[in-house]
Each structure stands twice: as C-alpha cells, then as structure tokens.
Chain A
Amino acid sequence: MNIVVCIKQVPDAKDVRLDPETNTLSRDGVKSVINPYDRHAMEEGVRLKEEFGGRVTVVSMGPPQAKAILQEAISCGADDAILVSDRAFAGSDTLATTYTLSQAIKKTGGVDLVLCGKQATDGDTAQVGPGLAVRLDMAYVTCVKKINTVTDKVVVLERMMDDGYDEVEVDLPALLTVVKEVNTPRFPSIRGLRKARAYDIPSYTAADIGADPAQLGLGGSPTQVVRVWPPEPKGNRTMLEGSVDEIAEKLAEIFHESSIG
C-alpha cells in the first residue's frame, strides 16, 4: 500500500504573534514546526505501514526551509519525502494549494491512501484535505479518530462527530483527515535521525510537476483577503469562582435572572 501524508510547516502556536499593523501572523523569529494535526497524520501513516505493510511518502508544499519538517518526518519513520517548492506557488489559497499538491502526488505514482491533518493551525480552513481528494478523484472522510483495519480494497474507520462517532467503510483509494485523538505521535529514533541526515530531499518545481501556471500561486487563487481585524469583544464577561457546586448554583441563578432561564 502506498501512503502519502501531506504535511505543512506552521509557526509554533506557543510563539504566535500578530503584526499590529497588518493583523497578519508575524513569522519573524518565530519557530516553525510541523502542523500539530499533520504530526498525527504522519504517525498514522507510519503506524499503518508497520501494521499492514507499504510505504509512506510525506509531501510538503512550502519554502526551502520546509525541508526541516520533511527531515523530521523521515526521522519518525517515513520512507520518502518530497518538497514542492517554487516562487510561483507564493500566495496560494486553498484552491491553488490543492491543485499544486495533487499534481505532486500524481507524480509519485499510484497512491492508495492520502492522509492529512484535519486543518492547519495557521490558516484553520480545513479545506485542503477535502479539496485535494476532489482533485485526485478519491473518496474522503474528515475528522477520523481511529482507523480499525485496512485491506487492499477498503479502510474501516471511526469519524468523530459532535455527538459521538460514525463507523465508516470507505473504498480505496481514499483521502482521510485526522484529528488528534487518532494516535500519540512517536519521538524520532536514532536510526531515523541517521537516515534523515543522509536523505537528500528532492525538491519539485512547478515545471517538475507539470503544473498549469494559471492555476498556481496568487494568480490561481480566487480568495482575496480584503481585511483582517481582531474581533470586537462582545458583551461582558464574568468569571465565576468557587467549588463546582457553588459555580453551578451561581450559573443557574444568572440563567434564571436573564432571559435564558
């Protein structure tokens, strides 16, 4: 089974700052890490490989610095890594990103299963997984919290819902996006680190993946960010203190006095 895991480099959430002028994420001096959800996708890929056999290829679209996260993926058990990097990709929205990633994945040859994190912590759209599945003409399931079995035809899994979970059987090839509950990501291994140091990560350009320039980067992105602003705080906030019982009582009182109760 060929498994592809898409991972993205994001600013470390512990470190995130907003540029007060533009209201966009300030990336200067901020540590970059693997998008936390992608870490779980990566672990799931490696876990499935160990249990059911196959190969895991990690793919990332990003600047040359994103090689660091691909190296980390190798140290945690991925077999291969590919960077997709070109100035032409700058300013991609999710539509252009899914196009670029789909072109790169097609180039890796036959793929049975694509794994993505539920969303990236910088953009928070959760659109790339489903969009990519459409581009690759695959079935997809989002918010997967457990993968039970994989055969050469189907995957049986559990999808997280607000009120419990669905058990889903999906035909392969398929794309799954995972939530954090799916597993506990491993640490790198000494062997993995040695392999990662020796691994020369190939970098694909727009030409390498045979991409149509019109669908790339800013030009291929219909999304336009018109304005970014912090939301106005709404209403008043009251913090209740005390034991659980005391808080519950006070809360009931407030509800009672307001129109809610």
Chain B
Amino acid sequence: MDHFLSEDQQAIVDLAKQISREMVIPKRVHYDETEEYPLDIVETLAKSDFFALFVPEEYGGLGGGCYDIVLALEQIGYGCVGIATAYAASALGAYPIIIGGSEELKQKYLPKVATGELRAAFGLTESNAGSDAGGIQTTAVLDGDEWVLNGTKQWITNGGQAHIYTIIAITDPHKGARGASMFIVEADDPGFSCGPKEKKMGIRCSATTELIMKDCRIPKDRLVGRRGTGFITVMKTLDKSRPGIASLGVGLAQAALDEAASYAKVRHQFGKPIIAFQAVQHMLADMAIETESARTLLYAAARHIDAHPKDMSKVSAMCKVKATDVAMKVAIDAVQVLAGYGFMREYPVEKMMRDAKILQIYEGTNQIQRNVIGQELNKEYTK
C-alpha cells in the first residue's frame, strides 16, 4: 500500500532497508546463535545517522519525528528484532534526557548519543517491580554534592553495552507517586556494575542484564528534571518509545509474511504449490490483512503523535498492542505454513516466532497497554 511518504522519508526507508538487507539479514543467524552484541551493525547504523535521527537538532541530531523513527525501525526490525532492539534501546535510554534533562545535561550527553559514541539504556524494572513500576526499591540519597544510589535493576536492555544509563530511584519514600526521580549513571561510576547477560528465548543478541548499584556515587547535577518527577518522565518516555516497538512488530510481521508467501509458492504437495490450497491462501490473506492494518494504524498514530505530542498515550498504546499482537500471530502462522521446515532453524521463521514474543512483553505488557487505553476511555467518557 502506498502511504505517500515524503521524499525524505522514502530515503530513510530505502537506506534502512539497504542496511537491513545487506548487513542485518546476512548476520542475524550468527548473532542469534552466538548471542553476541551486534556492535558492527550498531556502529554502522550510527555512521549512517540512525542515532542522530532521534536526537533533536539543537543537540547535533536530525530531530526526526515519531514517523521518521518508526519508518527506520520497521525496516531494521524486518531484518532482525534482536539487532533492532540493540539499536532502539539507546533511544529509550536517551528519551528521559530529551524529555526532562537540563540544558547542561542535554549539551553534555545528547551530541555524543547522536553520533553513536555514547550508547544508552533505560533502567526501570526490578525484581519486584515489573508492570507495577511503583514497586521499585532502588533508592537515591543526597549526600553533600553527590547522590548515592543503592539497588538492583533487572532485565535492562543494553546492560554492559551502554555508556550511560537513565535510572529511576526512590528519593522521597513517603511521597508516593512524587517520591521517585530520574538519574543518569555513567558506566564507570564508582559502585555501578552490570550482571551477566541473561539467556533468552529470543532477541538473543541484544544484551539484557542486571544493573547493580552499591553505594554508587554520582554528581548532584545528574538528576534529570526536578526531584520527584521520575515517574512522570518514565511515563512520557514509554509513551514516546512504544510506537518504536510497534514498528518492530510491523517489520517482523512483514518479514514472516514474505517468508511464508514465497515458500508457499515453491513448496509442492499433492502435485500443486501449497499456495493453491485455499486453507493456505486464507492464512496468508489474514496475515496480509493484519500486517497492513497494524502498519496503517502505526503510521496514523505516528502522524498523530507528531502533530499532537501532548496527546499520545492512547494512540501509542493502541499501535503497540495491535502491531505486536499481529507480529506474534503472523509469526506463528508463518511457522505453520512452512510446517516442519518452519520448525527448523535453517529457515528464519522459527527465530521470528521466538523474537515476536518479547514485543508483547517489554515496554509495558499488552495487558498494561489495554489498561492505559481503558483508563483513557474512562476519562473521555466521563467528560
């Protein structure tokens, strides 16, 4: 379907597609099997300005809108959701600074994020605080000119690979929702370390680790925004990043559909290509309908967000749920179309099925997204 992209957007799509085709796809099996961090690809993306894309122009970036970023991520996700996650995690880690950072913090970090010299990570989740972010136990106490952080973050993407970590910690335990604040921790700050890389079902090459803070001392001015605004920054960060997860879903669904449809044309059973069987055709048709619906909602949501940046929670959650549920379903159906071959690691669809699952979980499970949408509806209908 023609989405009438601008010339500049089409150029971004073509470049992301070229890198995906020439570098990501040829290497994805290697990175899936070795579980190594795809540094060469992340560096290539940086050199081609894909890190600059999400950084504002004032800080050396290209100031790309949500739509531009979504288009780029879709193409990289088409190649490999693990590699795309390794890239996108830097955007997630940098958003708190872009959203709430002081001018000094922005000047200090963002130009280097834009060139890829600094990779970022976002630390919210803890062992007792998953969907319920309010359950975090990491603390930050002001001691003279320094904050002292204590606690452990869990399952943090880019752990051990990032140079800067935006971390939320409790600063005023009795203040509830206003009791947490956002900080920037640098990888070599004293008292900071990362745990070993987790062994995962999918997106294996992206690094997922604990972040351990033991009397981790950071300068006072690494507080992002005002004290007590941590949860607000988290919510705004996730609202901003979720369309990115949706784009990985659309990219993955398209890739699974492409694999399934081209296989169905060449696989012969009962003297015919299996695409001649209506049961297979209908599966492919449903995969195509769902993939394009997800894409169309995503693009519409991205345009809405670019035009109305203060009103993004609902559309952002909607496109995330739709696209990632579609990705999961289409990946499962792609394996079904390839059947035994689909189950073999020799074909790419089994990896797509493993990779798709995370999209329904991270950056807020799809149940939590539905809660967000439901709460927004509740507000809208009481007006």
Residues of chain A at the chain B interface (Cβ within 8 Å): 186-194, 197
Question: Could you name 22 residue pairs across A and B whose Cβ atoms are closer than 8 Å?
Answer: A186-B47, A186-B48, A187-B15, A187-B23, A187-B48, A188-B15, A188-B18, A188-B48, A189-B15, A189-B48, A189-B49, A190-B12, A190-B15, A190-B49, A190-B62, A191-B49, A191-B52, A191-B62, A194-B8, A194-B11, A197-B8, A197-B11
In angstroms, how far is the closest chain B Cβ from the Cβ of A170? Answer: 29
A186-B47 Cα distance, complex, nearest whole Å: 8
* Residue in B11, B19, B52 whose CB lies within 8 Å of A187: B19
Question: In the complex the two chains form, what is the Cα distance from A192 to B15 in whole Å?
Answer: 11
- Which of A187, A192, A193 has its CB near the most chain B CB atoms (within 10 A)? A187
B231 interfacial contact with A, CB 8 Å: no
Q: Is the interface of A mostly helix, strand, loop or mixed?
A: helix
Interface class of chain B by DSSP: helix
Q: Which residues of B contact A194 (CB under 8 A)?
A: 8, 11
Contact between chains at B52 and A190 (CB < 8 Å): yes
| Complex contacts, B19 vs chain A, CB 8 Å | 187
Flag if A187 contacts B12 (CB, 8 Å). Answer: no
Cα–Cα, bound, A187→B49 (Å): 10
What residues of B have a CB within 8 angstroms of the CB of A197 in the complex? 7-8, 11
Residues in A with CB closer than 8 Å to B49 are: 189-192
B50 located at the interface, meaning its Cβ lies under 8 Å from any Cβ of chain A in the complex: yes
Nearest CB in chain A to that of B49: its residue: A190
Which residues of chain B have C-beta atoms less than 8 A from A186's C-beta? 44, 47-48
Which residues of chain A are near B47, meaning CB under 8 Å?
Answer: 186-187, 189
Q: Of B11, B22, B44, which is within 8 A of A193 by CB?
A: B11
Contacts of B48 on A, CB cut-off 8 Å? Answer: 186-190
A149 CB to nearest chain B CB (Å): 23
- Complex CA gap A193/B15 in Å reads 9
Q: Which residue of the partner chain B has the closest CB to A186?
A: B47
Name the CB-closest residue of B to A191: B49
* Complex Cα–Cα for A192 and B50 (A): 12
Q: How far is the CA of A118 from the CA of B18 in the complex (A)?
A: 26
Q: Quote the shortest CB–CB distance from B52 to chain A (angstroms).
A: 7
Which chain B residues in 1-58 approach chain A with CB under 8 Å? 7-8, 11-12, 15, 18-19, 22-23, 44, 47-50, 52-53
Interface-central residue, B11, B23, B44, B62, by most chain A CB under 10 Å: B11
* C-alpha spacing A210/B52, complex, angstroms: 44
User: In angstroms, how far is the closest chain A Cβ from the Cβ of B39?
Assistant: 14
Measured CB to CB, the nearest residue on chain A to B12 is A190
> Is A190 touching B50 in the complex (CB atoms < 8 A)?
yes
